[in-house]
Amino acid sequence: MDGFLASPAGVLVITVAQTLALLVPVLIAVAYLTWAERKVLAAIQLRKGPNVVGPFGLLQPFADAIKMLMKETVIPSGANRLLFIMAPMLTFLLAMVAWAVIPVQDGWAIADINVGILYLFAISSLGVYGIIIAGWASNSKYAFLGALRSAAQMVSYEVSIGFVIVTVLLCVGSLNLTQIVRAQESVWFFIPLFPMFVIFFISALAETNRAPFDLPEGESELVAGFFVEYSSMSFALFFLGEYANMILMSALATILFLGGWLPPINAEPFTWIPGFVWFALKVALCLFVFIWARATFPRYRYDQLMRLGWKVFLPFSLFWLVLTAGVLKLTGWLPA
Amino acid sequence: MAWTLALPELVLALCGLAILLIGVLPKRDTFFPMAMAVTGSLLLAAVLVLGQQEGVALNGLYVADSFSSFMKVLALIGAALGLLLALDYNTRERLNRFEYPVLVLFATLGMMVMISANDLMSVYLGLELLSLPLYVMAAFDRDAGRSAEAGLKYFVLGALASGLLLYGASLVYGFAGTTNFDRLAAAFAAQEGVSPGVVVGLVFVMAGLAFKISAVPFHMWTPDVYEGAPTPVTAFFAAAPKVAALALLARVLLGPFADLAAQWQQVVVLISIASMLLGAFAAIGQRNLKRLMAYSSIGHVGYALMGLAVVSDVGLRGLIVYIAIYVFMNIGAFAVLVAMRRSGRAVEQVEDLAGLGRTDPAMALWMAVFMFSMAGIPPLAGFFGKLYVFLAAVQGGYWTLAVIGVLTSVVAAYYYLRIVKVMYFDQPPEAALERAPPSLSVVMATTGLFNLAFCLFPAPMLAAAGIAAAALLG
Amino acid sequence: MIAAAAFYLFAAILIASAVMVVTARNPVHSVLFLILAFFNAAALFLIAGAEFLAMILVIVYVGAVAVLFLFVVMMLDIDFARLREGFQRYAPIGAIVGGILFLELVLVLGAWTFADQAEALRIAPTPPSPVTNTEALGLLLYTDYIYLFQAAGLILLVAMIGAIVLTLRGRPAMRRQNIAVQIARSGSVAAEKVPVGAGIRELGIRRPPPPEETRRLAEPAHGEADHGERH
């Protein structure tokens, strides 16, 4: 048996099993995130939310999925067929592929690579392609405008996310995600780097096109933005991709700032709970804030969004990066 | 690592950053104070260059010797004078944005990096640091179609030239295993014969550099860019960058590729002859002064290259003296071009100079001095410049080069003297040219006096050029 | 064996997509093929063990540069017929130039020999293995090559200045948002208590006062003469 597991075929089998073990919970989480969002929004707006299908409406996501599957896939006559179909697949695929390097517990990453954080950054910077291709291939002006807005928005906010990540890297001295979490054993980074945590979180909202930065799909001016022409499963893939990205960004925030799988206090009752549960709880907390923000803030205007990204976040994160480097150097805390 | 050796560059870069930061803050126009600050920084850098020690630093990427000091001081003076030409013009043409002097400063920094390059990578980065500001400056009058076209044309062709240079540099690296000049020289000295890869690479590197000095097969962009760019920008193009590019060409050919002289000498001879011929004949029919000056500068580069083609210390000294004199003639002539205005509008045709001898005798006198000097008429400085390169060619036995040089000077004298004739013997039109503003008059007088007085005191410059040449040839 | 197979696979796709970049009829497809080419180049880097370069290639070129390319290409109104006409006219010349360059390369590569001392002449040998290649790059870039690194930084700065100089236009007539003033403003929106149950018939239709009256009322109220958003 050991011999088989060491052979190339065995490695393949193990990897597939690991992937399934990670992606199935993620997909279920995506399904219940849509449910949780509707419930939380409803609670904030003094409504009940979905409560008909199953107890507490718990089967609602599955009902929605079946409804989506039964619908007809419509491809507009002027659309570029190949790209039109590829775009939602790309979005969904990228949202899934990124999970390969996420360590949900010490040593529980499918690929514990040296440049894990760069890999995540690279994958998340590709997310824009699904949207921009969808907007262009639809051959519709609303979709196209949504796509252009989104391209500009994502590229702008990636810059400040990059600086935030570099600041964390300065404190860790490694690009490996497991190392980043281990470096937080004494103190989680959101305490010393609180301003960067805030910037990261807001940029993550913009990066995932969530309210109050959901301009690419602004209903009032763009009908529904880049996916206005999509229906059925192709629409569902965008939908799943968006929510999977939210979870991914929350996982990233957890790893970079909230100590990953580490318990809040390294003492008896807390250490009984396994690390991946802590990880999931922290991700859930971030997701709750995502939804909370959606319920609370009105949508930004486009020029305000750009101004915030380039004139506020970029200089501030740059300043904080230099400050962090200076403090680390002067105090001698710079990791070897 | 003796990074302090590169102090002039560091100080200039820091000055540039500070000026950029200060200039951008106030809401009002800061062109004039920033231009003054940049001029001051350039002069400060020149002083630092004069006090610089010699040696190789920064991991072998940077070299400082007498040659680099001479050329850097020349480039810095050329840049400072070029910036002075822009003071009045840019204000009147509403080009008075403070970024102009900042771009001049960074371009000059690029020249210094080029002159001090001791590695093909420094060469490339210096060249780009010089070129990018030049592209932007060519298009500085962004609302004028001509200027935008000049910028775009220069950018596209410049990018092509950079590509050629990089292609060549990568071939050289591939075959020699290093990009450092000293190690390249050692590698070629140790090697039996020459591999064709290195020769192809060398030719591509030369092509890239020839583009920058607008030597003949790569000169096509020159007239259009010179004509389209705002006149002070043209003046800047024609002076300081040529110094840097020629210095770089000399350093590359006589440093790492000295042992391959047999390979590149023929190429330099051909480029030199072709440039002299084109510079002499293509300018004859020109009525636009800026285009005429473009062809004239191509010709001058041909003469200067003659000094390189003979591969001797006398020849190199000739090149150094020639380019120094060229800078002062050219800046002076362009000062006159920049000053040419009729009823508030800049004019640039040869006919516009008609009757200048009567309407503005001082400006006409200086223009005549520059034209005679460019034509190489004794006892003006231009004559000595030509004299030293011709002497070197004759001493080295390159009779063809020398004869062609003399003949093309005679042909070129025709169009220089035609300008003098137009100024003194043609009827002035109803509206005379406006008086030159003081900043331009000062530049004209300074450079004019240099051209006049050079015959009296040639010794210091000759001595300095001799030391510089000796430093490069080792 | 797998590494070699992967290398040939990625290299083949790289070359094929590079060819498609040039030959694709639709410029948007060209850019998408360019992205595919970048990806395969990144994969080749990975095979060579240069994981940092691979990721940076994807982040910088695919994540930022190609997005902007795509942006521009999608917005441009390109006349494909004219583009192709030019292509056909210049294709022979291009082919001749390309052929000459290719022949030269063949000649050159036929005589390929590294210099004898190439190994010894290297200025910056790769550090020994426990150093990850991210660290190795940093060790070289910020020490031995700091001069070039800073020069490259200045070049980028100049490019930025150039872009601003050539495109930024101050528009005096443009209305600017002054966020501080906007947030500090009070009194422009007021809640008003109306009697419960009273309709339009009782209250009449409330209209905002005409603009000149607003200004007269508003200015003494909070003393801001030049609100950007009201001019």
Give residue-wise pLDDT tens across range B423-455: 999 888 777 888 888 889 999 999 999 999 988
CB-CB contact of B393 with B401 (8 Å): yes
pLDDT at A52 over 80: yes
- CA–CA gap between residue B407 and residue B20 (Å, rounded): 49
Q: Does C161 touch chain B (CB under 8 A)?
A: yes
Q: Report the 10 Å Cβ neighbour count for B98.
A: 23
pLDDT at C188 over 70: no
ipTM: 0.91
Confidence of residue B247 (pLDDT cuts 50, 70, 90): very high
End-to-end Cα spacing for chain C: 71
Please return the burial class of C82, using the count of CB atoms within 10 Å of its CB with bins 0-12, 13-18 and 19+: exposed
Q: Does A303 touch chain C (CB under 8 A)?
A: yes
The per-residue pLDDT for range B115-152, each reduced to its tens digit, is 999 999 999 999 999 999 999 999 998 888 899 999 99
Q: Does C178 touch chain A (CB under 8 A)?
A: no
- Whether there are 3 or more C-beta pairs closer than 8 Å between A and B is no
Percent of chain C with pLDDT over 70: 73
* B177 → closest Cβ in C109, C122, C162: C122
N residues, chain C? 231
CB-CB contact of A111 with A100 (8 Å): yes
Q: Does C70 touch chain A (CB under 8 A)?
A: yes
Q: Does C168 touch chain B (CB under 8 A)?
A: no
- Whether there are 3 or more C-beta pairs closer than 8 Å between C and B is yes
Q: What residues of B are in contact with residue C112 (Cβ under 8 Å)?
A: 174-175, 195, 197
pTM: 0.86
pLDDT at C210 over 70: no
Min Cα–Cα distance to chain C from A63, Å: 36
Q: What residues of A are in contact with residue C64 (Cβ under 8 Å)?
A: 125, 155, 158
Under DSSP, the state recorded for C204 is -
Determine the average pLDDT of the residues in B171-175: 84
The residue whose two tokens read 């040659």 is B67
Q: What residues of A are in contact with residue C35 (Cβ under 8 Å)?
A: 129
C161/B103 CB distance under 8 A? yes
Please return the burial class of B324, using the count of CB atoms within 10 Å of its CB with bins 0-12, 13-18 and 19+: buried
**Structure-token pair, residue B305:** 């290259």
Q: Does C103 touch chain A (CB under 8 A)?
A: no
Percent of chain A with pLDDT over 90: 17
Q: Which of A6-20, A299-313, B94-108, C204-218 is predicted least confidently?
A: C204-218
Q: What residues of C are in contact with residue A121 (Cβ under 8 Å)?
A: 55, 59, 63
Under DSSP, the state recorded for A227 is G
* B180 → closest Cβ in C109, C117, C123: C123
Q: Does A8 touch chain C (CB under 8 A)?
A: yes
C25 versus C206: the higher-pLDDT residue is: C25
Q: What residues of B are in contact with residue C139 (Cβ under 8 Å)?
A: none
Min Cα–Cα distance to chain C from A155, Å: 6
